[in-house]
Amino acid sequence: MNEKSAHTVWHPVTVTRQERERSNNHRGLVIWFTGLSGSGKSTLAQATEAKLFETGLHTYTLDGDNIRHGLCADLGFSNEDRIENIRRIGEVARLLVDAGVIVLAAFISPFQSDRQRVRNLVDPGTFFEIYCNCSLEICEQRDVKGLYRKARAGQIPNFTGISSPYEPPRSPELNLDTGRLDISSCVDRIVTEIQPRILLQ
């Protein structure tokens, strides 16, 4: 057992997840956007949240860059730090789902094992993985933040897709060709696909 947590005991809750979901009038869900830098994860997550929020749903977006300004500000981009980054995000997402919230998480999350670990944290059917499937060539052409240019010049080490690997999802709930489809089409597809998972029985 972890020495830091050896003497802590889980405290039972008074208000259950099911009660929170009934109050929210929908189920909690983790919508996990994964893909290369520039594949549209953050843009798509924000646009999807906006559409869901407009209909009265309780939502929150966790964005990779934003999280590294606070919760994960102490982490770099080594394989070990990437693993810890996603572990922390997974725990935050689990707490938000327990609150009955629809969580939209936009992270490169390059390793299959890390994404599976997050999936295992929540109940079956509560993790909806979206692969923002965009080729490296198109992502480099976009290069909105100038990161690929810096990575190619050796200014950014351990950059996913250039000097660090990306493991595509083996069987995501949704595979979106974000190199070809526009944002509106992607959002409509996501909203349609998640409806059965968030509706209360």
Assigned CATH for 23-135+166-195: 3.40.50.300
Inter-axis angle of helices 79-98 and 112-121, nearest 10 = 20
Give the pTM: 0.91
Collapsing DSSP to helix, strand or coil, 174 comes out as strand
CA–CA distance, 114 with 64 (Å, rounded to integer): 15
- Mean of the pLDDT values across residues 131-147? 93
Going by pLDDT thresholds of 50, 70 and 90, the confidence category of residue 1 is very low
Judge whether residue 2 has pLDDT over 60.
no
The span from the CA of 43 to the CA of 41, in Å, is 6
Q: Is the pLDDT of residue 70 over 90?
A: no
**92-114: average pLDDT:** 96
Name the pLDDT band for 5 (thresholds 50, 70, 90).
low
Per-residue pLDDT tens digits for 149-181: 999 999 999 899 999 999 999 999 999 999 999
Q: Is the pLDDT of residue 20 over 90?
A: yes
Which active-site residues does the annotation give?
109
Distances (CA, A) of 178 to 33, 72, 139, 194, 195: 11, 27, 10, 18, 21
